[in-house]
A and B are shown apart, each in its own frame.
Chain A
Amino acid sequence: MTPLDFFTWLSETSWSVDLHESEIAYSLIESLHVWTLCLFFGLMMMVDLRLLGWTMRTVPVSDVMDRVLPWAIVGFVLMVISGTLLVLAIPLRSYQNLFFRGKMIMLVVAGLNAWIFHYRVYPKLVGKSADGIPPKAVRVAGGLSLGLWIAIVFCGRMIAYNWFDCDRQPQTAIINFLTSCVPGPSVY
């Protein structure tokens, strides 16, 4: 089963069709995605800004990690749930969307950055004075995270626009390659 087969199958399930056809449910889920963005993206940026030493310098990094990050993670879980439902409503178009693909790749990179920070960089900080401006490795992780999440939000917003959609031909060969699109009769 190729990914294309999978997303085609997904788009034919009753769940997907119902979501796609329900205007109220779709609008509500999209709004939920934006509200939880406030919780996740907002607090994540505050954590990153603290790691960079750009705000709350009098607050120890460990306090921010222990008391603020859990709230951001709650927001992240809600974002993944609402985001998955949004994909479920439009599976095929999402799969072949250039910005969706970029967003997913950057999500993996952001996850990797968080993993490295959490298991390789942050443990070295524990026990040391964590006030003020953190060491360089911590600042790099914070800066990378901040940049990646901003880029992810940009890509997320662009998914809604159809400039590079498969059913909008002609596109350049590179775009059709990046979106795994074989131009032909409309599949939507």
Chain B
Amino acid sequence: MLSFFQWCYDTPIGETIRESTWLFPLIEAVHLVGLGLTAGAILIVDLRLLGAGLVQQPAGELWASVRPWLVGSVTLMVISGTLLFLSEAIKCYYSFAFWIKMTCLVLALVFAFTVRRYVVRTGPSPDRALQGRLTAIASLGLWFGVAWGGRWIGFS
């Protein structure tokens, strides 16, 4: 595993970003805009599942209209995040926060397109309000783990 991280670190892209003054901060800023968009698209649906926000609309309708923005922003985050990772892969390998973040990210994405998608499409009707709330709490918890881990990689 470490040799793979070393290989990532040694790629020309990683080296270029590492040696440039401006590239890392600029990619970081793009990553932050992606974070905002992802959070917005997630929050619109999760607030609805919690019984707040846009309660006049069915959760399924909100999910359908924000989904392209979620897919787009996650793509932007994965691309910018991969670039940041290549430039400091070795540091990430030894960073506890990095592994927390990656675990939460995979779980959050799988959750969003399986359980959460099912709950959003089928309800939440009044008798399934609790199901919706629990889904939203799980979703927000996982994304919180992603954002927390991300910020903490920078501190380590």
B65, A163: Cβ atoms closer than 8 Å: no
B106 at the interface (CB under 8 A from A): no
Asked whether any CB of chain B lies closer than 8 Å to the CB of A109, the reply is no
> Is the CB of B134 closer than 8 A to any CB of chain A?
no
Contact A158–B44 (Cβ < 8 Å): no
Q: Quick check: is A63 within 8 A (CB to CB) of the other chain?
A: yes
Q: How far is the CB of A164 from chain B (nearest CB, A)?
A: 12
CA distance A49 to B36 in the complex (A): 13
Whether A67 touches B55, Cβ cut-off 8 Å, given contacts A157-B25, A157-B28, is: yes
Give the shortest distance, in Å, between B32 (CB) and chain A (any CB).
5
A56 within 8 A of B: yes
Cβ contacts under 8 Å, A163 to chain B: 21
What's the minimum C-beta distance from B131 to chain A, rounded to whole angstroms? 22
Count of CB-CB pairs between chains A and B under 8 Å: 105
Interface of B is mostly: helix
Chain A residue with minimal CB distance to B30? Answer: A154
Q: How many interface residues does chain B have, given as a range?
A: 35 or more
- Interface 0/1 of A32-65, CB less than 8 Å to B: 0011011101111110010000011111000110
Knowing A31-B152, A56-B66, the reply to whether A153 touches B38 (Cβ < 8 A) is no
Q: Is the CB of B65 within 8 A of A58?
A: yes
Residues of B within 8 A of A (CB): 21, 25, 28-29, 32-33, 35-44, 47, 52-57, 61-62, 65-66, 68-69, 143-144, 147-148, 150-152, 155
Q: Is A161 an interface residue when CB atoms closer than 8 A count as contact? A: yes
Partner of B33, one of A31, A46, A150, A158: A150
Bound CA–CA A163/B150 (angstroms): 24
